A and B are shown apart, each in its own frame.
Chain A
Amino acid sequence: MSAPRLARSPGGAVLVALAVVGTAVLVLPLVALLLATPWTALPTLVADAHVLQALRLSLLTAGCATLAALVLGVPLAWVLAHDDLRCAWLLRSLVTVPLVLPPVVGGVALLLLLGRRGLLGGTLDTWFGVTVPFTSVAVVLAQLFVSLPFLVLSVEGALRGADRRRALAAQTLGASPAYVLRRVTLPAVAPGVAAGAALCFTRALGEFGATVTFAGSFPGTTRTMPLAVYLAMDAAPEQAVAMSVLLLLLSVAVLLALRGRWLGGLPGAHAARSGRGAR
């Protein structure tokens, strides 16, 4: 940290001041949250049946969404990572849209697709008697819609990093393609997949807009933690704060796990830090 030296020139001082304000914008709200937290009453507040119900539902749906994202997203990333794909740019743009789209819009779109009068929803209802909206499945779909791009882009990056020439080098040493996949390609990609899954999970855990629009807010089936926090703000502010802290701790735990275990093991992560790579 050489902020004092940076700040010596007038222009530098302005930039540093703005950087400080920027940091404050990100950190101060969390400080306020932590200061308002009734730490001694926290265990009892969190142990409340409604909170536990919402927490269980959140972990379950976010877990399901992450699993689904892994099953669907890894192949999608694999397709994207192939340079010979002509419409890759189009496919990548489509994958990126949910990242920039307001989640509420995603919820509306999901309703228009799977609602009773939706594009597919009508057929599902009349032919199979299946209604998706306002169920736990709808929660998972809403979370999947907003979190899948995180996984896809992260895994695609990892696949590109594990370049093809290493796989070829392995073959020239007498390794069959299956052996190369098992001992070279997959291990090289695994940290990226893990990081993507963690990002995907935290994004799914925090999903609000698409969930409330597409799945509603029914206790036990669709009222996840973020929805419960929002509702509790009026009725039981202390509980809302307690649940918020719980979500904050969960997210930070995932972030710490990412940094320590996975980001440190990403191919090139260390090389980038020490300024030299595996040649």
Chain B
Amino acid sequence: MTLDVQVRIDRGAFRLDVALEVPAGGVLAVMGPNGSGKSTLLEAVAGLVPVTDGHVRLGDRVLADAASGRHLPPHERRLGVALQDGLLFAHLSARENVAFGPRAQGVRAPVARAAADALLADVGLTTQARTRADRLSGGQAQRVAVARAIAALPSALLLDEPFGALDAATRARVRDVVRRAVATGLPALVVTHDLRDALELADELLVLQDGREVQRGAPAHVAAAPATPYVEQVAAAAAWPDRAP
């Protein structure tokens, strides 16, 4: 199932104009300075932002199409989304947060909870399964958010800064969990500020600036030949050897 996005989005003075394609089992990393349109792109695919022009397709399903005025509501798009800041449901436990997607789609509670526990184990949060979401640390909450997105029976994964609050070792572990989910045949869009995430996880890297593509290619190629000062900067930051042993 391929994710095919070709959109123009006008939001006040800001315009995002971007085209991309992510094949089944492929990961596209999206990077760019603040305000470059990364999150807007992800929200448009998720259905939270209307598309001014163009289309969003997932396999043979049309999620949004400006020409025909089609706009599938977010809950009918069958996506697994982790928005920026995680946005966990504070009154629910970590387990119920992860089980939320499948339960909302009619999976029986015990089945959804078992799946949630398995995913929480994968991201290293078995002991926090019963902890209320508002009592988790920033890093723990972020891992729950990623697990929750993967658990939601998605046809595509959209992750906005899913690793930002994690230390190097945990980061590698959660990246692994994402990699395994993608390997089941999902296209994934991952917004990140850290080039190492792109290098480790993505097949392709798209760099945005002011709502436009400024560079695209295999992450290693982009890192080796930065086209803008921004890319140069993130490449330099990624070169620091603070990765876990």
Of the candidate stretches A51-59, A83-91, A101-109, A172-180, the one touching chain B is A172-180
- A270 beta carbon closer than 8 Å to chain B: yes
Contacts of B184 in A (CB 8 A): none
Of the candidate stretches B77-85, B169-177, B194-202, B237-245, the one touching chain A is B77-85
- A169 beta carbon closer than 8 Å to chain B: yes
With beta carbons under 8 angstroms apart, the residue of A165, A176, A276 that contacts B104 is A176
| CB pair A268 B137 closer than 8 Å | no
- B149 beta carbon closer than 8 Å to chain A: yes
**Given known A-B contacts A174-B105, A268-B134, A278-B141, A169 and B90 have beta carbons under 8 A apart:** no
| CB pair B104 A173 closer than 8 Å | yes
- B135 beta carbon closer than 8 Å to chain A: yes
Q: Fill in one digit per residue for A147-175: 1 if any B CB lies within 8 Å of its CB, else 0.
A: 00000000000000000011011111111
**Given known A-B contacts A173-B101, A279-B138, A267 and B74 have beta carbons under 8 A apart:** no
Contacts of B47 in A (CB 8 A): 171-172
| CB pair B79 A172 closer than 8 Å | yes
Nearest-CB distance from A25 to chain B (Å)? 36
Contacts of A279 in B (CB 8 A): 85-88, 136, 138, 141-142, 145, 165
Of all chain B residues, which has the CB nearest A163? B87
Contacts of B83 in A (CB 8 A): 165, 168-169, 172
Contacts of B104 in A (CB 8 A): 170, 173-176, 179, 183
Of all chain A residues, which has the CB nearest B100? A173
**Given known A-B contacts A173-B152, A176-B75, A188 and B90 have beta carbons under 8 A apart:** yes
- A12 beta carbon closer than 8 Å to chain B: no
Q: For the complex, what is the distance from the CA of A278 to the CA of B149, rounded to whole Å?
A: 16
- A220 beta carbon closer than 8 Å to chain B: no
Contacts of A187 in B (CB 8 A): 91-92
Q: For the complex, what is the distance from the CA of A191 to the CA of B91, rounded to whole Å?
A: 10
Q: For the complex, what is the distance from the CA of A278 to the CA of B92, rounded to whole Å?
A: 11
Contacts of A172 in B (CB 8 A): 46-48, 74-75, 77, 79, 81, 83, 158
A interface SS class: helix
| CB pair B90 A267 closer than 8 Å | yes
- A46 beta carbon closer than 8 Å to chain B: no
| CB pair A278 B137 closer than 8 Å | no
- B73 beta carbon closer than 8 Å to chain A: yes
Nearest-CB distance from B167 to chain A (Å)? 15
- B56 beta carbon closer than 8 Å to chain A: no
| CB pair B91 A274 closer than 8 Å | no
Contacts of A165 in B (CB 8 A): 83, 85, 87
Nearest-CB distance from A156 to chain B (Å)? 18
Contacts of B230 in A (CB 8 A): none
With beta carbons under 8 angstroms apart, the residue of A166, A171, A184, A276 that contacts B74 is A171
- B133 beta carbon closer than 8 Å to chain A: yes
Q: For the complex, what is the distance from the CA of A274 to the CA of B67, rounded to whole Å?
A: 50
| CB pair B101 A175 closer than 8 Å | yes
Of all chain A residues, which has the CB nearest B145? A279
Of all chain A residues, which has the CB nearest B137? A276
Q: Fill in one digit per residue for B122-139: 1 if any A CB lies within 8 Å of its CB, else 0.
A: 000000000011111110
| CB pair A175 B75 closer than 8 Å | yes
Contacts of B89 in A (CB 8 A): 166, 170, 183-184, 188, 278
- B153 beta carbon closer than 8 Å to chain A: yes
Nearest-CB distance from B223 to chain A (Å)? 28
Of all chain A residues, which has the CB nearest B81? A172
With beta carbons under 8 angstroms apart, the residue of A166, A169, A184 that contacts B81 is A169
Q: For the complex, what is the distance from the CA of A116 to the CA of B132, rounded to whole Å?
A: 56
Q: Fill in one digit per residue for A200-211: 1 if any B CB lies within 8 Å of its CB, else 0.
A: 000000000000
Contacts of A214-254 to chain B: CB distance below 8 A: none
Interface residues of A, Cβ cutoff 8 Å to B: 165-166, 168-177, 179, 183-184, 187-188, 265, 267-268, 270-271, 274, 276-279
A sample of 25 inter-chain contacts (CB < 8 A) reads A168-B74, A168-B83, A170-B89, A171-B74, A171-B75, A172-B46, A172-B47, A172-B79, A172-B81, A172-B83, A173-B100, A173-B149, A174-B104, A175-B100, A175-B101, A175-B105, A187-B91, A188-B89, A265-B91, A276-B137, A276-B138, A278-B134, A279-B86, A279-B141, A279-B145
Which 9 pairs across A and B sit closest by C-beta, in order of nearness? A175-B104, A172-B81, A173-B101, A279-B141, A171-B74, A169-B87, A278-B134, A279-B86, A278-B90
Given contacts A170-B89, A172-B74, 16 further A-B contacts (CB under 8 A): A169-B83, A171-B73, A171-B75, A172-B48, A172-B77, A173-B152, A176-B104, A268-B90, A268-B134, A270-B132, A270-B135, A276-B137, A278-B89, A278-B90, A278-B134, A279-B88
